[in-house]
Amino acid sequence: MNEIKLLAISGSLRQKSSNTALMNAIIGLAPETMKFTIYGGLGDLPHFNPDIDVDDGPAPVSELRTQLKETDGVLLCTPEYGNGVPGVLKNALDWLVSTGEFINKPTAVISASPSPMGGDKAHASLLLTLNMIHAKIVDKGTLIIPNITMKMNKEGAITDTELKQELSSVLQALEQACS
């Protein structure tokens, strides 16, 4: 089987983000054929401004676009802030609206929250944006995870058996969509 190159993006800048820990745990569950690059530049992107989006755009924007072009698919893990998508993640997506890197790009979307609601509003909002930029949302590749802090230990390992199975299914769906 061919190697599948994926870009993993956490929607949180927090050092001890449960979504970043979740993203890393998901990568640990992936089969060897799935090779992940973790995008760490959300905090480096300037505020979206079409006036400065000339040529390849600012260097951090150009790097994000290049990484997306070079991948077969994307894994997004995001918290919910203020009933929506974190501003840094929305800002990154705004930089991609007019350039097409997400067009038909297989994308898995996971929203996790320590609350019982699980980030459902951020999840819905993120799917709206991704659909608008023509990402290929993977069938069976989305998941809302409530009470995430009860399903992982302090080291970032998933302790909930059912969640591990659900995440393995998301990975399998993403792998199939990228093949």
Q: What is the pLDDT of residue 160?
A: 97
CATH number of the domain that residue 28 is part of: 3.40.50.360
The 3-state DSSP composition of the chain as helix, strand, coil percent (nearest 5) reads 40, 20, 40
As a whole number of angstroms, the longest Cα–Cα distance in the chain is 49
Mean pLDDT computed over every residue of the chain: 96
Number of domains in the chain: 1
Q: CA angle at residue 159 from 118 to 170, to 5 degrees? A: 60
| Model pLDDT for residues 42-60, shown as the tens digit of each residue | 999 999 999 999 988 999 9
Q: What is the pLDDT of residue 91?
A: 98
Q: What is the pLDDT of residue 48?
A: 97
| Model pLDDT for residues 146-160, shown as the tens digit of each residue | 999 999 999 999 999
pTM: 0.96
Which residue range(s) make up the domain with 166?
Answer: 4-178
